[in-house]
Amino acid sequence: MARVAALLGASLLFGVANAHLAAFHKGMYCLNGPQSAQDLNSYSIVTPLYQLDLNQWWFHHVDRCDQFPPADGDFLDLPAGGQFTVEIASNRAKTTLSYNGRDASDWPDGNTYPEDYNVPTCITSPNFHAQNQSMAAGTAFAISYESDISKVTPDNLAVFTVRYHTPWKRVTTYDVPANMPPCPPGGCICAWGWVPNGCGQPNIYHMPYRCRVTGSKSNTPVAKPKPPVWCEGNPGGCTKGAKQMIYWNQNSGNNIQVSGYDQAGEFKSPAYNSKLGFPDGAQNDIFAGPPSSSSSGGTSTGNSGNTNTGNTNTGSTNTNTNNQNNGSNSNNNNNAGNGNNASAPKPSSIAPPAASIAVHVNLNPPASRSSSSAAPAATDSNATTISTSSTSATNNRAPSCKRQRRRRGPILDAEDPATQEEQDEVPAALNKVVAVTHRRRFAKTW
């Protein structure tokens, strides 16, 4: 702890680091951060979610982002059978939503990089949690046919579009299924999700928007979504039809658990891609039945004669309730490690890069959690010296953390503080400090 404090002290010199990414659009909640006053440099929403209770991580309630809806009339419009575009960025300032795009570039952080940007030890600026574009995990949008955000639950929020190999460039386009039914008069609630695949903390992103379908041609509702399951190499085993978003590595509310290794020999990390049965593009199999013609041809919000609140439908069998993990019963230990029991990784054989601090310092752990935190795992000294986290010696940390440690270098969450230029570089020796800063920042912020 003393060491952490010392590092933290030193790290303050570098300012706040927070180069994570989120999908910006005027229809988003938290456009100005968790406040009503305009903030052209907001970036609260880019903070990832990890080991939080359901009521905290759901729609980023942890910092009250879900309490700050977009301005009246601002929606993310989803043209049935068409596309929509958002700006994936590390800060609102790096999008066209601020300063007329003055600080925006083709990339999420306002800087410029080679088209074939590739860093075998992981790209950290922007914080793609990937080595290159082909390794980017994939991102998704989901929709709930509820207008009131408080009524949105995993059971009525279905993934309707996925974009493989994102996040990558700032401007990102998603496809809308042609048969999307219209939203109720008050619009729908959408969500953006991203679950990185290694290269850092195995967290998730879950942020809300007000959205509405335009040009609907069908009134058939979206079926009740079921949790996705790991089905790499076994398409027949994938969850068919409407799927929930990926809820992983939280203290409660998880809907997927994985263990072991993927086909590439890395620790499994669920993501919005084929490994969970999500095809790239529009998810055209999410409806409760065949398309039914709409009386209206659908304008935007309007025609909702049909109250189909998506959930009603489908009889869907299912929902399997879940699965194995509902997180709630697991203490955060096995949560992070979810399926992997101690026998899995061989940490000692994994040489952690000096600066690779995959260990998570718990953000504001609930009091109860501290009791479960045992001594840091003895296997990797450097990483664990900083760990005050609850991940204990008796269980493994999240698989992707290990993976990440094995395959990459510094987890440098270098950042672009607001509108300022991104730090050009951080001396290698300071990488660790910066990484710690990042963790500590969480601790302070959350």
Q: Which stretches of the chain bind ligand NAG, using CB under 6 A?
A: 118, 120, 131-132, 134-135, 321-322, 326, 328-329, 341, 343, 354, 381-382
Cβ–Cβ contacts within 10 Å for residue 279, how many? 14
Q: How far is the CB of 153 from ligand NAG (least distance, A)?
A: 10
Residue 277 identity:
G
Q: How far is the CB of 308 from ligand NAG (least distance, A)?
A: 24
Angstrom distance (rounded) from CA 45 to CA 21: 8
The residue written with tokens 């659009």 in the block is 25
| Residue count (the chain) | 446
Q: How far is the CB of 21 from ligand NAG (least distance, A)?
A: 18
Q: How far is the CB of 34 from ligand NAG (least distance, A)?
A: 27
178 or 354, CB closer to ligand NAG?
Answer: 354
Angstrom distance (rounded) from CA 249 to CA 390: 13
Q: How far is the CB of 320 from ligand NAG (least distance, A)?
A: 10
112 or 343, CB closer to ligand NAG?
Answer: 343
40 or 135, CB closer to ligand NAG?
Answer: 135
Angstrom distance (rounded) from CA 253 to CA 157: 14
Residue whose C-alpha is closest to residue 275's, from 158, 162, 408? 162
- For β-strands 205-214 and 188-194, DSSP reports them as antiparallel
126 or 215, CB closer to ligand NAG?
Answer: 126
Cβ–Cβ contacts within 10 Å for residue 296, how many? 15
Angstrom distance (rounded) from CA 79 to CA 177: 9
Q: How far is the CB of 383 from ligand NAG (least distance, A)?
A: 8
442: tokens are 């969480």
Angstrom distance (rounded) from CA 184 to CA 60: 24
46 or 383, CB closer to ligand NAG?
Answer: 383
364 or 382, CB closer to ligand NAG?
Answer: 382
